[in-house]
A and B are shown apart, each in its own frame.
Chain A
Amino acid sequence: MSSAATAQAPQTTRSAGHQVARTILRAPISRRTWTDLLYAVADFPLALIGFVFAVATFAAGVALALTFIGLPLLAASGLAGRRFAGVHRALARKVLHERISGPRPFESSPGILGWLQAALRDAPSWRARAYLVLKFPLAYLTLGGAAFIWAQGVLCVTWPIWWWAGWEAVFVRPDINLGSWPRMLLVVLVGVLCLLAAPWIVRGLVWLDCALMRGLLSSSGSDRVRQLEVARAQVVDDSATTLRRIERDLHDGTQAQLATLAMTLGQAKEKLERRTNVPYDPDGALDLVDAAHRHAKEALVELRDIARGIHPPALDVGLDAALATLVARSAVPAVLNAEIPVRPAKAIETIAYFTVAELLANVTKHSRARHATVEVSEHEDILRLIVSDDGIGGARPGGGSGLLGLTERVRAVDGQLQVTSPPGGPTVITIELPLHA
């Protein structure tokens, strides 16, 4: 056993070395490299607009500070800055899968003056504008640097072709001669080095941008405390509501059924007891026992439904098993595609299950859909659930569909819930939960 372990050790080191070499050599064609480039390109126009906007509105606001419109302009600029920041965060999430949780929403005070004061004091909107100002040079550097080094690399690597085609004069001054074979080899080598270095340079700059976003656009410590307070209140509320619902279900259903059962059996018993006040009646008693038997079976069904509402037993087997049962019981025909290689924490599984349960119930109640789909996948410690249907759309948080409550519940574990539901459909609801709360 121990000899086998020592024999394997050098091999592991060598394969680790291989791993590093492979990563470096494969970097130019890796997926991450292209998403970085895509981000650099897509982000640049946004950064330019944001920069111009932030500088212009700030300058105008300060210049007009002594007039009526100066301060409102500054305030409005800050709130718009928050929007810009949101777009930047969304882009980072979509392209880079970089999740940066935003600050708490702006909270206005009553009255125009209250609004003005709250907006001018709102730290996130000042930080958002600071980001917009810093972002532009960085985006410029990223895009420019990426373009330069990639172009340089490609040009150098293909240098023999240019030279052979007689186009070298387009790229180099006539007094520099790169035509000899050793020099040409050197140029190609420089090109290879450029191509190998390019992904890392761009990645470094993108990383810097993400760090800047985390510093300026994410929720600050006090925001976080506030968010957690709201989440905690939500969780407490939620469990109180759940307990009340369970009590109501037990009271209206099972307790009434069991009381009736006891009453029926009591009646039957007295008919068999040959008492003075109740006539002996075995046939009547049999009818009553029959009814009691029926009540007992109904009570069992009801109790099972209530128990499932508290904790679905299939959840102990796994989220996919529980969701399969849920999907099979859905009134609107639904299919499940689940890829869950790493099992999430129990609490996350429970939240995922009940969120999907409520969304499927929404599909049945509101969407008029003919089909629904539940997709579950995992990406880098994130559990993603997508519930979609081909119904009439128009679902929105706060529309009485319980989406607001679901959003809050998901947020309580630092998850996110996004609703895409244009009028006419289709409705797609995406939930992202951390694998471990």
Chain B
Amino acid sequence: MSMRVVIAEDAAIFRDGLTGLLADRGHEVVAAVSSGTDLVNAVAEHHPDVAVVDIRMPPTFTDEGLKAAIAIRTGHPDVGVLMFSQYIETRYATQLLGHNSAGVGYLLKDRVADTSEFVDALTRVAAGGTALDPEVVTQLLATGNHGQALDETLTRRENQVLALMAEGRSNAAIAATLVVGEGAVEKHVANIFAKLGLPSSHHDNRRVLAVLRYLQG
């Protein structure tokens, strides 16, 4: 499936590299801009499948990208937004996710080193899924109000499964990562939902949503 992508990134070298990479994989970069305002305009004009957004951009180099991303989520809910940053800020993650994690991603820029995984994550976000950096998940789990309660309620294995779920992974992917059978993962997931009092579902997206809702209290 070929995606139509808008890129917002102020470092020209990285913007060009990203454009080249996506073109190489048969995706179409319809616009590559370098500021938050240009991004919102480009999304309104081209209506892409997904926008790749650097958080720090001119003029203030703080969170222009985040503001633009939130504006896009409000104005064009069907456009996926992948936030891209050198650092992970937990607050940015919770602000972007709001109460809906569909079509949202937040990755460290380092992740482009593993090209295929990055393109997979982008595809997932474009299709309305979620892609959270393991770093984001770790921080959310550590800083969430329920961090301690979770540690007490869930076993170590269940915690690992929860973290992988939060990254947006399927049961099959979790099983491969933890080197266990898929059946075992399904059992852990069922236990987690039971312990957290959440109804089980096979849809990745709703699982992440549930986890994040829980983490955000």
Residues of chain A having any CB pair with chain B under 8 Å = 248, 251-252, 255-257, 259-260, 262-267, 269-270, 275, 277-278, 284, 295, 298
Contacts and interface: CB of A to CB of B under 8 A. Distances in A.
Interface of A is mostly: helix
Contacts, number: 49
B217 interface: no
Given A259-B109, A278-B116, A284-B24, 13 more contacts: A252-B10, A255-B109, A256-B13, A256-B14, A257-B14, A259-B110, A263-B17, A266-B112, A266-B113, A267-B21, A269-B115, A270-B116, A277-B116
A264 B109 contact: no
Contact of A263 (B10, B21, B61): B21
A252 B57 CA distance: 10
Interface of B: 10-11, 13-14, 17-18, 21, 24, 56, 61, 86, 109-110, 112-116
17 contacts: A248-B61, A252-B10, A256-B13, A259-B109, A259-B110, A262-B113, A263-B14, A263-B17, A263-B18, A264-B17, A266-B112, A266-B115, A267-B21, A267-B115, A270-B115, A277-B116, A284-B24
Q: Which of B18, B112, B115 has the most CB of A within 10 A?
A: B115
A255 B113 contact: no
Contacts of A295: 13
A264 to B, nearest CB: 6
B112 A263 contact: yes
Contacts of B112: 259, 262-263, 266
Contacts of B114: 266
Nearest to A265: B113
A76 B35 CA distance: 55
Contacts of A259: 14, 86, 109-110, 112-113
A61 B198 CA distance: 87
Closest 4 A/B residue pairs (Cβ) = A256-B11, A262-B113, A263-B112, A260-B17
A248 B10 CA distance: 13
A291 B114 CA distance: 17
A266 B109 CA distance: 13
A277 B17 CA distance: 20
A9 to B, nearest CB: 69
A409 to B, nearest CB: 25
Contacts of B18: 263
A178 to B, nearest CB: 89
Contacts of B115: 263, 266-267, 269-270
B56 to A, nearest CB: 7
Contacts of B24: 267, 284
Contacts of B110: 259, 262
Contacts of B109: 255, 259
Contacts of A252: 10-11
A260 B116 contact: no
A298 to B, nearest CB: 8
Nearest to B54: A256
A263 B113 contact: yes
Contacts of A262: 110, 112-113
Nearest to B18: A263
A270 to B, nearest CB: 5
Contacts of A256: 11, 13-14
Given A251-B86, A264-B17, A275 B116 contact: yes
Given A263-B21, A267-B24, A257 B13 contact: yes
B147 to A, nearest CB: 29
Contacts of A251: 56, 86
A257 B61 CA distance: 18
B24 to A, nearest CB: 7
Contacts of A266: 112-115
A257 B109 CA distance: 11
Nearest to B84: A259
A259 B14 CA distance: 7
Contacts of B11: 252, 256
A278 B118 CA distance: 14
A21 B13 CA distance: 75
A298 B13 CA distance: 11
A263 B14 CA distance: 9
A94 B174 CA distance: 79
Nearest to B112: A263
A264 B112 CA distance: 9
Q: Which of B14, B17, B21, B116 has the most CB of A within 10 A?
A: B17
B88 to A, nearest CB: 14
Nearest to A299: B13
A257 to B, nearest CB: 6
Contacts of B14: 256-257, 259-260, 263
B103 to A, nearest CB: 23
A259 B21 CA distance: 13
Contacts of A278: 116
A97 B18 CA distance: 63
Nearest to B117: A266
A295 B115 CA distance: 17
Nearest to A260: B17
Given A263-B115, A270-B115, A270-B116, A255 B17 contact: no
A349 B117 CA distance: 50
A260 B116 CA distance: 15
